[in-house]
Amino acid sequence: MVYKVADISLAAFGRKEIEIAENEMPGLIYIRQKYKESQPLKGARIAGCLHMTIQTAVLIETLTALGAEVSWSSCNIFSTQDHAAAAIAATGVPVFAWKGETEEEYTWCIDQTIAAFPDGKPLNMILDDGGDLTTLVHEKYPQYLQGGYLIDRM
């Protein structure tokens, strides 16, 4: 498994918290159940850079249940819930996040997120809160932008 988290032994606690959170996130669970058979995200390689929390773990598991390959880092050096990161890493999803990262470690984690897909395949989707992952792709990996689309949220 490819990951770097604070303590992988926190995975069981994180799993329990994820199961509790799923009960509080019926929209994602409904989408997961409705579309898991059709795999609408098959072929998507999503690099994510959002707060690595229990709620984000539910999102990550929904994306993978719908067929996406996902790699993840946190968008904030202080917001990671280490048990959430461990639980997701234990499922085989590449996660690079721990609470209290230095600025250098933070950038390293984002860089690892971009490079973590199997067989060296590039990302083809970005889910980014804050723009640091997007900025790094533009500055260091512009080849990944070829043939891509920008979704305007307006």
Q: Residue 154 domain-assigned?
A: no
- 149 burial via Cβ count (<10 Å: 0-12, 13-18, 19+): exposed
Nearest to 72 by CA among 114, 134, 103, 130: 114
Going by the DSSP 8-state scheme, the letter that residue 49 receives in this structure is E
Q: Residue 92 domain-assigned?
A: yes
Q: Residue 107 domain-assigned?
A: yes
Where in the sequence is the domain holding 20, given as residue range(s)? 3-145
Q: Residue 150 domain-assigned?
A: no
Q: Residue 152 domain-assigned?
A: no
Q: Residue 151 domain-assigned?
A: no
CATH number of 8's domain: 3.40.50.1480
Query: How many other CB atoms are found less than 10 A from the CB of residue 90?
Result: 19
Q: Residue 58 domain-assigned?
A: yes
Could you tell me if 133 and 113 are in contact, meaning their C-beta atoms sit under 8 angstroms apart?
yes
Q: Residue 153 domain-assigned?
A: no
Report the C-alpha gap between 5 and 96 in whole angstroms. Answer: 6
Q: What is the pLDDT of residue 1?
A: 75
Nearest to 93 by CA among 27, 47, 40, 33: 47
The residue among 1 and 120 whose pLDDT is bigger is 120
Count of positions (residues) in the chain: 154
Q: Give me the helices (H) in 42-102, please.
A: 54-65, 82-90
Number of domains forming the structure of the chain: 1
Q: What is the pLDDT of residue 147?
A: 65
pLDDT tens column, 39-79: 999 999 999 999 999 999 999 999 999 999 999 999 999 99
